[in-house]
Structure 1
Amino acid sequence: MAQGEVREFPDRRFPDLVADQAARRPDAVAVRQWDTTVTYGELCGAASALAARLRADGPPDLIGVCADRTPTLITALLGVLGSGAGYVPLDPALPPARLREIAAEAGLRTVVCDDLGTRLLADCGLDLVPVGAAGTGAAQPCPASADDIAYVMFTSGSTGRPKGVMIPHEALTEFVTALADLADLDGAGVMLGFASIGFDASVIDLLAPLAAGATIALAGPEDRTDPTRLQRFCAEHRVSVAFLPPAVLPILDPAGLPDLRVVLTGSEAPGPEQVARWTGTGRRFLNLFGPTETTVLVTWFEATGSWDRPLPIGRPAANHRVYVVDEHQRPVAPGEPGELLAGGVGLALGYLGAPDLTAQRFVPDPFSAVPGARLYRTGDLVTAGPDGMLHFLGRVDRQVKIRGQRVEIGEVEAVLRRHPQVGHAAVAAADGPAGTRLLAFVTGEATPQELRTFCAARLGTAMVPAHITVVAELPLLSSGKVDLDRLLATVLTAGDAAFAPPATPIEQQIAEVWAELLGLARVGRDDDFFDTGGHSITAMRLVAALRPRLRRDIAIEDVLQGRTLRAIADRAQAAATLGDEQPVRGRPPALSPSQQRLWFLERYSPDAAAAYNIVLAERLRGPLDAAALQTALTAVAARQEVLRWRIPDTDGVPHAVLDPAAAVPLPVTDLSALPAADRERELAAQLSAEAGRRFRLATDTLWRTRLFRLGDDEHVLAVTAHHAVFDGWSQALLYADLAAAYAHGPDALKPLPATYADYVAWRDERRRHRADSDLAWWTSHLDGAPTVLEVPGDRPRPDEQTYAAGYAGCWLDPDSTAGLHQFARDLGATPSAVLLAAFGLVLAARTGQDEMVLGTPAVDRRHPDFEDMVGFFIDIMPLRLRAEPGGSFAAHVRAARDELIAALAHPEAPLERIVQAFGLGGQTTRSPLVQVLFNVFNFAAPRLDLTGLTAEAVPVPAPGSAFDLTLYGVERDGRMRLEAVYNSDIYQQSTMDELLQTLRQVIVEGIADANAPAARLAPSRGLPAPVVPHAKVRPPKPDTVITRPPETATEHAVAAVWCEVLGRDAVGVTDNFFDSGGGSLAMATVQQRLNRLLGRDLRVVDLFRYPTVRTIAAHLDGAGHGTDSTDDAVEQALRRGAARRARNRHRTATEGEPQ
Structure 2
Amino acid sequence: MAVIFENQQLTYSELNRRANQLAGYLQQQGVGVETLVGVMVERSVELVISLLAVLKAGGAYVPLDASYPAERLQYMMADAGVAVVITQSGLAPRLAESGVRVVSIDGQWPEIEQQSAANVASSVRAENLAYVIYTSGSTGRPKGALGTHRAALNRFSWMWKTYPFEASEICCQKTSISFVDSIWEIFGPLLQGVANVIISEQTLKDPDQLIDTLARQGITRIVLVPSLLRVMMEDCAELQERLFRLKYWITSGEALPQELSDRLLKNAPGKMLLNLYGSSEVAADASWHEVGASESLGTIPIGRPIANTELYIVDGHLQPVPIGVAGQLLIGGEGLARGYLNRPELTAEKFIPHPFSKTAGGRLYQTGDMARFLSDGNIEFLGRMDGQIKLRGYRIELGEIEAVLNGHEAVQQAVVVAREEESGDKRLVAYVVQNPNHQNSDELIPESKLSEEQIPQWQMVWDETYNQTSALTDPTFNIIGWNSIYTGQPIAAAEMREWVDQTVARVLDGRPRRVLEIGCGAGLLLFRIAPRCTYYLGTDFSPEALCYLERQLKGPGAKLPLVKLAQKAADDFDGIETEFFDTVILNSVVQYFPTIEYLLRVIEGAVGSVAPGGSIFIGDVRSLPLLEALHTSVELYRSPDVLSITQLQERVHKRIAQEQELVIDPRFFTALKLRFPQISHVQMQPKRGRYHNELTRFRYDVTLHLGPDKDATADEQRELDWHREGLTPSALRRILEQTEPKSLKITRVTNARLLKDIKSLELLSNFEPSVTIAELRKSLSSVKEVGVDPEEIWTLSMDLPYAVGLRWSESAADGSFDVLFRRYASQQMNGNTLTVPFFADEPVRAKAWRAYANNPLQGSFSRKLVPQLRLMLQEQLPDYMVPGAFVLLDSIPLTPNGKVNRQALPAPDSTRPKLEGAYVAPRNPVEESLGVIWAEVLGIKQIGIHDDFFTELGGHSLLATQLISRIRNTFEVELPLRHLFESPTIAGLAEIIDKKKESHAASSAKPIARLSRDEHRLKVPAQRTFELS
Class of the TM-score when normalised by the shorter of the 2 chains: 0.3 to 0.5
Return the index of the structure with the highest Cα Rg: 2
TM, length-normalised to structure 2: 0.48
TM, length-normalised to structure 1: 0.43
Structure scoring higher RCO (CA < 8 A, sep ≥ 6) equals 2
